[in-house]
Amino acid sequence: MIVLDREFAQEINLHAEASYPDECCGILLGILGEEKEKIVKKLLNIDNARDEANRHNRFLITPADFAKASFAAIKEGLEIVGFYHSHPDHPSAPSQYDLEHAWPFYSYIIVSVKKGQADIISSWELENDRTKFNAEAIKGA
Ligand SMILES: [Zn+2]
């Protein structure tokens, strides 16, 4: 389960709408609760690092982004608990590309954007054997 307060859900929606028709992406910083639930405390918007031609359907967080986010997290006593990105005019479900580029443990929040309007927000966790994503409950949004 991931705990995502309404203000963070709103922030993700606004980032997704501002980036439309491109994908947006960002990093979720937070803590682990008593039952290993992830509690989001901060969002880091990441500029889309892909080249113009592929931007509308591929997101990328570079190793440099990841390292920067790790330092930012540690400084505030947080850790990276997941990532978010948008699916412009596509359902809020992980793509094959997402599956191939995901790591276990992290939460993957995906927001679908329909004609510029943020629509459905969902969260996913990779199965440990990396064969598929499982839907994860979002609390608080
Ligand atoms: Zn995706």
Lowest-confidence pick of 59-68, 74-83, 92-101: 59-68
Residue 125: predicted pLDDT: 97
**Considering the domain 2-139, what is its CATH architecture?**
3-Layer(aba) Sandwich (3.40)
* pTM for the full predicted model: 0.92
Q: What local confidence, expressed as pLDDT, does residue 50 receive?
A: 66
User: Which residues are near ligand 1, the ion (C-beta closer than 5 Å)?
Assistant: 95, 98
Residue 56 CA to ligand 1 centre (angstroms): 10
What amino acid is encoded at 126 in this protein? Answer: L
Sheet holding 133-136, edge to edge: 133-136, 117-126, 107-114, 79-88, 25-32, 38-46, 2-3, 138-139
Q: How far apart are CA 56 and CA 46, in angstroms?
A: 15
Output the average pLDDT for the chain.
92
pLDDT at 1 over 70: yes
Partners of 4 in the β-ladder: none
Pairing of strands 25-32, 79-88: antiparallel
Ligand 1 center–CA 40 separation, angstroms: 20
pLDDT at 48: 63
